[in-house]
A and B are shown apart, each in its own frame.
Chain A
């Protein structure tokens, strides 16, 4: 448990350091776009409507499964910047225990100056995605305990 939380913090620290290299917004966004392009596409059969999180501006597909007590997320979006941020969220949250996922507040997003993308007013599907990730974690924990 404790190990898992600290692992998550380590990943977040790593991302903050990675973003500290950029002193101008263009470089930062080019990096996010790069991350978005690198993130493997979700398999077409997983791009189904029941995995679709509808944002007003962009669409997000999220899939979750449990492996050895850890939650594995895969996700995709039709917008690249959204997908780049998804890539960061997956790096932090995928492979963590349900408890760690439920308890995190994802402060790294604020540190790297991308908080605006996790604002409900953006309607890009990311807020709903984070909520959905936590709901998956909660459901898996209930399954584990049950």
Chain B
């Protein structure tokens, strides 16, 4: 126990923001599902890049450009290893999860989705995994089908099997739900989909920092995630795609870096991964993503998973006895967060008072309005955990909720 505590203290010491005060109180940061805080190493990597290496990549002969290119491309290899992709050119840098989903919806959609085809998503998707498909369906005359969820917030595999068929062109679903915490049985679902030759895209935004991801073992066709939820900077993310699928897809955006040759008559597109990376990317962000991966590896998933599971269990055990508190999302397999409502107290009111106590939680619909409609709540209060959170912080949350209840 004492060793565990020491570890957490050492981990917390790497996050300068955790020592600041908010509204005169020690910050309790429980909004990691929205974005995690950044360790000093990640912050330093960004300033180091601008202080010593800044230059444009892929097209300079000079030393700075060479160094920046190699630092950036090294991260691609690091990401490849991190998610166990077969090739480093299957790793496409994007602006984030939303950017990755839009890329696939646009490029896969333009190349492979026709009138009458179906795209299948689930009822627990983030808006970013709903709206791009609606837009695609509108453009192509395709149909968006939605796999319902149970009152626990789980997918029914039998229902899933019924919904897929010869018209299903692509399935896109979330690995870990941001509003319910549900961990979906994606490996099993991918296997079922592949039996009918249907490719599957996984939104891993809420998964990669909680659990190791092996895209080859999962056999995922596309897997997207953001750096900023895994201790990295905002504005950079990853789209993993299988080589053959990516090669079949048209480029997403046109511009520099994504071409081999350009004349006014004809442009020859670049090979993977650059075909999908038009324009100057977020170089500093990419390099800092590499440092965020180093940070995760320096702790290891064994500890991360154990610690976060303990925190979640502890939070549930502490919160469940609060009168009038109802959990939203009670799936058997859950990760990293608790989502709940208080009888007669609006989530916004709860959030305002908790903020006054220095406790940062997320309130509202969490960009999953269909989920809120399903549970018939205006929103929820969500406490989401990272590796640096402690049981003491969970206790402060519980005390904060007691205070909220006394005030309303």
Task: Kindly provide the distance from the CB of B360 to the nearest chain A CB, expressed in whole angstroms.
Answer: 14
In the complex the two chains form, is A81's CB within 8 Å of B348's CB? yes
Q: Which of the residues B349, B353, B378, B408 comes within 8 Å of A59, measured between beta carbons? A: B378
The answer to whether B346 has its CB under 8 Å from any CB of chain A is yes
**Which residues of B are found within 8 Å of A96, using beta-carbon distances?**
none
Contact with B along A13-34 (1 / 0, CB 8 A): 0000000000001100110010
Interface residues in B347-381 by Cβ distance below 8 A to A read: 347-349, 351-353, 356, 363-365, 378-379
Task: Kindly provide the distance from the CB of B404 to the nearest chain A CB, expressed in whole angstroms.
Answer: 10
In the complex the two chains form, is A81's CB within 8 Å of B352's CB? yes
**Which residues of B are found within 8 Å of A26, using beta-carbon distances?**
356, 407
In the complex the two chains form, is A78's CB within 8 Å of B346's CB? yes
In the complex the two chains form, is B408's CB within 8 Å of A80's CB? yes
Q: Which of the residues A25, A30, A79, A123 comes within 8 Å of B349, measured between beta carbons? A: A79
Q: In the complex, A25→B365 CA distance in Å?
A: 27
**Which residues of B are found within 8 Å of A25, using beta-carbon distances?**
23, 356
Q: Which of the residues A29, A30, A33, A79 comes within 8 Å of B348, measured between beta carbons? A: A79
Q: In the complex, A32→B351 CA distance in Å?
A: 15
The answer to whether A94 has its CB under 8 Å from any CB of chain B is no
Task: Kindly provide the distance from the CB of B339 to the nearest chain A CB, expressed in whole angstroms.
Answer: 15
In the complex the two chains form, is A58's CB within 8 Å of B346's CB? yes
Task: Kindly provide the distance from the CB of B357 to the nearest chain A CB, expressed in whole angstroms.
Answer: 10
Whether A33 contacts B407 in the complex (CB less than 8 A), given A56-B364, A80-B349, comes out as yes
Query: Looking at chain B, what size class is its interface with the partner chain?
Result: 10 to 19
In the complex the two chains form, is B379's CB within 8 Å of A57's CB? yes
Task: Kindly provide the distance from the CB of B72 to the nearest chain A CB, expressed in whole angstroms.
Answer: 33
Q: In the complex, A14→B352 CA distance in Å?
A: 25
Contact with A along B327-353 (1 / 0, CB 8 A): 000000000000000000111110111
**Which residues of B are found within 8 Å of A57, using beta-carbon distances?**
347-348, 351, 363-364, 379
**Which residues of B are found within 8 Å of A87, using beta-carbon distances?**
none
Q: In the complex, A33→B345 CA distance in Å?
A: 11
The answer to whether A97 has its CB under 8 Å from any CB of chain B is no
Task: Kindly provide the distance from the CB of B352 to the nearest chain A CB, expressed in whole angstroms.
Answer: 5
**Which residues of B are found within 8 Å of A81, using beta-carbon distances?**
348-349, 352
Q: Nearest residue in B to A25 (C-beta to C-beta)? A: B356
Interface residues in A1-60 by Cβ distance below 8 A to B read: 25-26, 29-30, 33, 56-59
Q: Nearest residue in A to B378 (C-beta to C-beta)? A: A78
Q: In the complex, A78→B372 CA distance in Å?
A: 15
- Most chain A CB within 10 A, of B347, B349, B363, B364, is at B349
**Which residues of A are found within 8 Å of B407, using beta-carbon distances?**
26, 29-30, 33
Contact with B along A104-145 (1 / 0, CB 8 A): 000000000000000000011000000000000000000000
Task: Kindly provide the distance from the CB of A85 to the nearest chain B CB, expressed in whole angstroms.
Answer: 10
In the complex the two chains form, is B364's CB within 8 Å of A80's CB? no
In the complex the two chains form, is A29's CB within 8 Å of B353's CB? yes
Known: A56-B365, A57-B351, A59-B378. 11 other contacts (CB 8 A): A26-B356, A26-B407, A29-B352, A29-B353, A30-B407, A57-B364, A79-B348, A80-B345, A80-B349, A81-B352, A124-B348
Between-chain CB contacts (< 8 Å), 13 pairs: A26-B356, A26-B407, A30-B407, A56-B364, A57-B364, A58-B346, A58-B378, A79-B348, A80-B349, A80-B408, A81-B348, A82-B348, A82-B349
Give residues in A with beta carbon < 8 Å to B.
25-26, 29-30, 33, 56-59, 78-82, 123-124
